Amino acid sequence: MASAQSPVQPPRSVFVNTLMPEPAHLAVGSGSLPFTTSFTAATDSFHDDRLDDAVARMLKQLENHTGLQIALAPMASKTATLLITVDGPGEAVQSVDENESYSLEVTRQGAHLKAATDVGAMHGLQTFLQLVQTDGAQFFVPAISIQDTPRFRWRGLMVDCGRHYMPVPVLLRILDGMAAVKMNVFHWHLTEDQGFRIESKVFPKLTEMGSDGQFYTQEQARELVAYARERGIRVVPEFDMPGHTQAWFVGYPELASAEGRFQIERGFGVFDPVMDPTRESTYKFLDAFIGEMASIFPDEYMHIGGDEVNGVEWKNNPRIQKFMRAHNLSDTAALQAYFSQRLMEILKKHGKRPVGWDEILSPRLPRDAVVQSWRGFASLAASVKQGYAGILSKGYYLAYLDPAEKFYLVDPIPTKSDLTPEQQALILGGEACMWSVYVNDTIIDSRIWPRTAAIAERLWSPRSVNNVDDMYRRLWVESVRLEALGLTHITQEDMSLRELAGPAVAASAPGIDALHALTSVLQPGGPEDPHRNTLSPFSRLIFALPPDPPSRHNFELLVSDYLQAPAAHDAQRAQLAALFESWIAAQPELLRLISSSPLLEEARPRAEQLAELGTTGLEAVSWLSSGQAAPRGWKEQKLTVLDEAEKLSAAVRFTVLEPLRDLVNSVKDK
Amino acid sequence: MASAQSPVQPPRSVFVNTLMPEPAHLAVGSGSLPFTTSFTAATDSFHDDRLDDAVARMLKQLENHTGLQIALAPMASKTATLLITVDGPGEAVQSVDENESYSLEVTRQGAHLKAATDVGAMHGLQTFLQLVQTDGAQFFVPAISIQDTPRFRWRGLMVDCGRHYMPVPVLLRILDGMAAVKMNVFHWHLTEDQGFRIESKVFPKLTEMGSDGQFYTQEQARELVAYARERGIRVVPEFDMPGHTQAWFVGYPELASAEGRFQIERGFGVFDPVMDPTRESTYKFLDAFIGEMASIFPDEYMHIGGDEVNGVEWKNNPRIQKFMRAHNLSDTAALQAYFSQRLMEILKKHGKRPVGWDEILSPRLPRDAVVQSWRGFASLAASVKQGYAGILSKGYYLAYLDPAEKFYLVDPIPTKSDLTPEQQALILGGEACMWSVYVNDTIIDSRIWPRTAAIAERLWSPRSVNNVDDMYRRLWVESVRLEALGLTHITQEDMSLRELAGPAVAASAPGIDALHALTSVLQPGGPEDPHRNTLSPFSRLIFALPPDPPSRHNFELLVSDYLQAPAAHDAQRAQLAALFESWIAAQPELLRLISSSPLLEEARPRAEQLAELGTTGLEAVSWLSSGQAAPRGWKEQKLTVLDEAEKLSAAVRFTVLEPLRDLVNSVKDK
């Protein structure tokens, strides 16, 4: 594969930069600090349980990574290999203003990590972990000097636990992954039309009737908040209102704008049920509910949703229409603004600042609100121009299955922004969003990771860190590191393929191995199946495949390398030819496998196309390397093959079509 | 691969028997019942939450397996595809005498499951799940008639959570696996020298000081018991006494026979610390403790350990020696018997019957005690001859890493037993034992599964079901089914290999693929590293490899097939030659990988031997197929190669040596 350029200059020493996110300032020294069984770590000034636990976790990870069992370091020893100097614990409740900076100096003699707070120190420990590398004979940490601080203060991941419930262990390992790439906000989307997921003791019917028994107890929620805090991560809970609230109404129909009984929603989309903003009883309910939730979630912010209210039920209800006229509320947007205002007064009473989606922006929005933009930068800019803090999510929607590079190049402050420096400062950061319409607890890891690490780098590292090739080089390394934390984003593919092949087939050699020739050049595609609902199984090829598999970018690099000099780049030609031949050779076994499993049947056209793509590639490389022109009609015919392969089929797409098109188009015509 | 013989006669229909465990009686009908989206299941007489939940779980698994979303069946409908007739819930607390039988009739028109209890019905549901198969075009259940009942009433798995703590989700998925193969006792080894793992509110220092913070809360324990009951599994907790109790003494040194302070033990072995059986305060403590535990664990049995007391501290303590003389206790065994007797009175007071290891057998053992034999059948026979019920564990030690077939052929009642029928009836069954000296939460799945499914079959199915080839054929299928429950026994190997290769290497193509040629013919070997302790990392090749990989038995079958007629069996010859060539071809890439990672360095001799084994195999097959004799000295030289490869290295062994030896020995000498 082509070597990639690093934005940090390669040192004369053996240092290979696999840091992710890249630190703000990094200077490489000479030599390295060996990592051996006599390694010790100690704090020399402040330390508390949180810091001690973080150090212990890091040591355990280092032991697992190196296989070297190290002695337990006595704390507060000046002779430690890694000395950790921390000024204090940081804020009692981590805020958006927490000091997260740290510095790390590594020499041949030792390492020194300094930070103002536990949180900064924990970020530094993650950097130290990522620095440990090997020359094949031993492990070492390169001599280096790092001064690091995040570009944005709000680096979040939203997980929708409403449409599909995610068990606690799944969320805990996601928090581990977030901490590894220095993210600091877990936005917990807890309520949806499809499920109410957090226990209320004041209103028990919310989960008794609105969750199918799939919800988080208050104790579990408190434990998750504590687990996150231990890792420098804030937890911002979201209670989406006044829309997306059908599950609330199953137990408490009196909150709704329409009459009658409600069911937990099984479908996906924007639905009519919406809270009744005209009744005082609604606010009394929400006052008690928000008060209860405020006692579980200590973060200064609470997310109140506010998105996608279609206004249908408000328009259809004469009583609500009468209320609107009486209060001079000209349209449903004005009624929603009235509701938001009342709701935010309740938040204020309970000591919480509001976060909401774009739609909450209205003239009477409190000054301390944060607007989260799912609509895009123009909407975000509108908010900050009115003086509101904002965070960007448009462009970071993981459910869209875009390649990491696409997320990576979305900057919360575009280069050509017309915002003043003061307005830019109001952009706190961004959040990756994992909506769970097409995600369950089995596949969520592969939808979040490793792509979210690229978003984490965008939000932490300087704007100038934007080399896509280098990002990918480091991303694949980080992906394997994330796996060691217990995440299943890599192993899930084979596991799911075995399920698709069926146990009887998967049990026999070569079993699913034959599938890899095909699946390694496929990625999930859209649009998704409109007939799916929350109860649908996930046993389809699309859910087995990782978005943005390594093969995609690697193939791009290889073809681009080759095309620089097709006649001369013989190694690349050989590599391409071997790959194309493997696509052709795979077909008989692939078709046999497909014939043995109804779940693989939809992939039959893809298996047939794979061989055609192999032939196309082989012929193109042959013409290109020989320098000869192809016969009349050849190019047209091959482009037709590529066009056919481009069409969505089995809800999956080939990852290799653009470079193949480049190959074909580079062939001379007769 | 060679086809295997099934003890059940193959039917004329397309039925392929992949049931595990095999039912007691099975007759194949003609035709099959299609499985489609209109499938429904319903109970027609008794049903309760436990049964309804089990049916719902089965339907969810069927949907995942087939990809077909089925409508939710209204309960109590006579028109259901699968009708479930259950007489009643079964015992309020599942006992060793629970009726676990069921019958299952499947015709072209529908299926009918009958059972006396929920537990029997749940076993039948598992059988139904295993019956669903595909012809490649659609899914169906073959027409079949099954009357099934277990051969043994006690089919257990012991998990040692003392030496290494296992998080609750790990245990829950183990329970799922047990239910899938109809095991019914989870023996929870909760206390050890290395850790006290269950919260006591009466004696909080037990976990505060004796667990490193790694313990189960009482709420977690109750939830686990409920989860197990939902799946027809009893939970028998073990509090090992009076030895293996060092962790108790960290918080409560007054229980110990020696003076001074105690630490949590980090090493492995049999240690001196032991409870003081001479003090009344010991029994007062145990009375309160057992009473507290009895309120958490409803099972009629409680395991009190009793194993491996070396008596050193009792002999060294003059006060204890004086007590022994005063009570006419002639040796430390007699003192332990005295302790056991006192302890069992306490159990009786709290309504519990005792289970203990062989050592509890003594003249005054209560009649209702169960003896669990880790020492072997002779010891078990001695117990039942004295009228005690017993269960066998010797021969089912998963930590020994033996192949499944070895466990499979261990029968709790050997064919040549001299026991009377009444004595044989006292043998309740057996328990697989997962001691966690060399097992942590990452690798435990691969140590337990799929081998434990073979033990489950031994304990459930008739004695006559003992064809090893057919067991393996079904075991590999069951292994993939077990994975679909969330178990990680298959995926762990690649995950661990990526960790051994290191993230920077594992991230690059072909990454760990090159390792597979080697690891697919290796298995973990012993003896283990004597320097390990409870804190040692698991980053060694031995821990990445599954015991008894499919390649071992498959290679045996292939060679044995080939050797039936080396000159004629050309397909087998070609398959063997291709395999041997792949071993030789893998070497350059393997050595490159090994050079890049200190953690793989120990595998270097194995990589070199692999190529030699490949050459040996190729040459043997060449002589054999040609029918010619090898030159003088050839055989001797090749057997030396095999002898060298047989030696333990890197704590791993080759899986292929015996068949290779057969090949070499079959070559004619000149």
Domain architecture of chain B: domains with CATH = 25-148 (3.30.379.10), 154-467 (3.20.20.80), 491-666 (no CATH)
Note if the bond before A503 is cis, omega within 30 degrees.
Answer: no
* CA separation, residue B227 to residues A113, B58, B418 (Å): 46, 15, 40
Give me the residue from B136, B477, B499 closest to A595, CB to CB. B136
Contacts of A438 (CB under 8 A, 6+ apart): A399, A528, A532, A543
Residue B529 banded pLDDT, cuts 50, 70, 90: confident
Residues of chain A with Cβ-Cβ distance to B538 below 8 Å are 64
Q: What is the pLDDT of residues A407-451, one digit of tens each?
A: 999 999 998 889 999 999 999 999 999 999 999 999 999 999 999
Question: In whole angstroms, what separates CA B63 from the centre of its chain?
Answer: 28
Instruction: For residue B546, give the nearest of B603, B473, B495 by alpha carbon.
Output: B495
CB contact under 8 A, B507 and A479: yes
B22 counts as catalytic: no
The answer to whether residue A484 neighbours chain B at the CB level (below 8 Å) is yes
Please count the other Cβ atoms lying within 10 Å of the Cβ belonging to residue A405.
19
- pLDDT at residue A7 greater than cutoff 60: no
Interface test with A, best of B470, B471, B495 (most A CBs within 10 A): B495
Specify the 3-state DSSP secondary structure of A648.
coil
* Residues A193, A175: Cα–Cα separation, whole Å: 25
Residue A364's pLDDT is 85
pLDDT of residue B292 exceeding 80: yes
* pLDDT at residue A1 is higher than 60: no
If residue A366 lies in a helix (H) or strand (E), which one and from where to where?
Answer: none
Label residue A9 by pLDDT band (50, 70, 90): very low
Q: Give the gap in angstroms from C-alpha A158 to the nearest C-alpha of chain B.
A: 24
A67, A495, A551 ranked by CB distance to B491: nearest: A495
Residues 35-64 of B with CB under 8 A from A: 60, 63-64
B485, B477 in Cβ contact below 8 A?
Answer: no
CA A72 to chain CA centroid, Å, is 35
What's the token pair of residue A192? 């949806």
Helix segments in B564-603, DSSP class H? 570-585, 587-596
Residue A606 near residue A650, CB atoms below 8 Å: yes
Please tell me the distance from the alpha carbon of residue A97 to that of residue A154, in angstroms, as a whole number: 9
SS3 content of chain B, % helix, strand, coil (to 5): 45, 15, 40
Distance (Å) of CA A652 to CA A179, A537, A594, B492: 32, 17, 16, 27
Question: Distance between CA B457 and CA B471 in Å, rounded?
Answer: 9
B554·A509 Cβ contact <8 A: yes
**Could you write out the DSSP letters of every residue in B123-155?**
HHHHHHHHH-EE-SS-EEEEEEEEEE--S-SEE
* Nearest Cβ partner for B491 among A494, A538, A595: A494
Give SS3 for B440: coil
pLDDT at residue A525 tops 60: yes
Given A64, A72, A490, which is nearest B539 (Cβ)? Answer: A64
Distance CA B560, CA B116 (A): 46
Distance CA A303, CA A189 (A): 9
Q: Which member of A72, A504, A595 has the closest CB to residue B133?
A: A504
DSSP string of A455-518? Answer: HHHHHHS-TT---HHHHHHHHHHHHHHHHTTT--TTHHHHHHHHHHH-HHHHTSTTTTHHHHHH
* Residue pair A392/A380 in contact by the 8 Å Cβ criterion: yes
Q: What is the mean pLDDT of residues B561-586?
A: 95
DSSP B48-65: -HHHHHHHHHHHHHHHHH
Query: What gap in Å lies between CA A321 and CA A327, rounded to an integer?
Result: 10
CA distances from B465 to A468, A504, B21, B23, B128 (A): 60, 21, 9, 9, 20
- What does the DSSP 8-state code read for residue B652? E
Task: Specify the 3-state DSSP secondary structure of B313.
Answer: helix
pLDDT at position B12, please? 37
Q: How large a percentage of chain A has pLDDT more than 90? A: 91
Q: Nearest chain B residue to A135 by CA: give it.
A: B596
Cα A543 from chain centre: 16
Q: Are B426 and B369 in contact (CB under 8 A)?
A: no
Q: For the segment A621-658, what is each residue's pLDDT rounded down to a tens digit? A: 999 999 999 999 999 999 999 999 999 999 999 999 99
- The whole-number pLDDT of residue B639 equals 97
Q: How far apart are CA B130 and CA B478, in angstroms?
A: 8
Single-letter code of the amino acid located at A670: K
Distance from CA of B64 to the nearest CA of A (A): 5
What token pair was written down for A594?
């497909």
Q: In sequence order, what DSSP letters do the residues of A509-547 get, joined into one string? A: TTTTHHHHHHHTTEEE-SSPPTT--TT----SHHHHSPS
Residue B77 near residue B42 (C-beta atoms within 8 A): yes
Contact B598 A539 (CB under 8 A): no
Residue of A264, A470, A491 to mutate for B, most B C-beta atoms under 10 A: A491
Three-state DSSP at A611 gives helix
Q: Where are the alpha helices (DSSP H) in B357-502?
A: 377-385, 404-408, 421-425, 444-448, 451-460, 468-483, 491-501
From B408's Cα to the closest Cα of chain A, the distance in A is 19
B308, B528, B581, B612: the catalytic one is B308
Element (DSSP H or E) covering residue B549: none
Give yes or no for A478 touching B (CB within 8 A): yes
Residues B195, B163 contacting (CB under 8 angstroms): yes
pLDDT in the model for residue A527: 66
Residues B76-120 pLDDT 10s: 567 899 999 999 999 999 999 999 999 999 999 999 999 999 999
| Angstrom distance (rounded) from CA A62 to CA B156 | 37
Look up residue A602 and give its two tokens. 């939809």
How crowded is residue A149: how many other Cβ atoms within 10 Å of its Cβ?
Answer: 16
Residue A334: CB atoms within 10 A of its CB come to 15
Rg, C-alpha atoms of chain A: 27
Q: Are A137 and B598 inside 8 Å of each other by CB?
A: yes
Compare CB distances from A491 to B67, B134, B494 and report the shortest one's residue.
Answer: B494
Adjacent-strand bridge partners of B85: B114
- Mean pLDDT of all residues belonging to chain A: 94
Please give the structure tokens belonging to residue A318. 């004469």
Pick the residue from chain B with its C-alpha nearest to A490.
B495
C-alpha B56/C-alpha B41 separation (Å) is 9
Residue B226, chain A, CB below 8 Å: the answer is: no
Q: What is the mean pLDDT of residues A319-344?
A: 96
Instruction: Give the whole-angstrom CA distance, residue B632 versus residue B622.
Output: 16
Q: How close does chain B come to A643, measured CA to CA in Å?
A: 28
Contact B499 A488 (CB under 8 A): no
By the CB < 8 Å criterion, does B172 face chain A?
no
Nearest CA in chain A to B172: A169
Q: Check if the beta carbon of residue B357 is closer than 8 Å to that of residue B368.
A: no
Name the residue among A609, A615, A649 with its Cα closest to residue A634.
A615
- pLDDT tens profile A131-149: 999 999 999 999 999 999 9
Q: Which residue has the tokens 């693929």?
A: B513
Q: Are B38 and B56 in contact (CB under 8 A)?
A: no
Closest CA of chain B from A102, distance in Å: 25
CB A411 within 8 A of CB A167: no
Inter-chain touch A136–B597, beta carbons under 8 Å: yes
Does B538 contact chain A (CB < 8 Å)?
yes
Q: Report yes or no: A604 at the B interface, CB cutoff 8 Å.
A: no
Amino acid identity for residue B392 in this structure:
L
pLDDT tens across B160-177, in order? Answer: 999 999 999 999 999 999
Q: Per the residue annotation, which of A91, A105, A308, A581 is the catalytic one?
A: A308
Phi, psi angle pair for B21, to nearest 5°: -75, 155
A645 φ, ψ (degrees, to nearest 5): -65, -20
Q: For residues B24 and B461, is the Cβ–Cβ distance under 8 A?
A: yes
Rounded Cα–Cα distance for residues A232 and A105 (Å): 22
Q: pLDDT: is A578 or B3 the higher one?
A: A578
pLDDT at A77 over 80: no
| DSSP assignment letter at A201 | S
Sort B334 into a burial class: Cβ within 10 Å, 0-12 / 13-18 / 19+: middle
Whether B10 shows a pLDDT value over 60: the answer reads no
Q: Do A64 and B499 touch (CB under 8 A)?
A: yes
CA distance B81 to chain A (A): 20
Q: Is the pLDDT of residue B2 over 70?
A: no
How far A508 CA sits from the closest chain B CA (Å)?
A: 8
Residue B75: the pLDDT is 57
Residues constituting chain A: 670
When pLDDT is averaged across residues B121-137 and rounded to a whole number, the result is 96
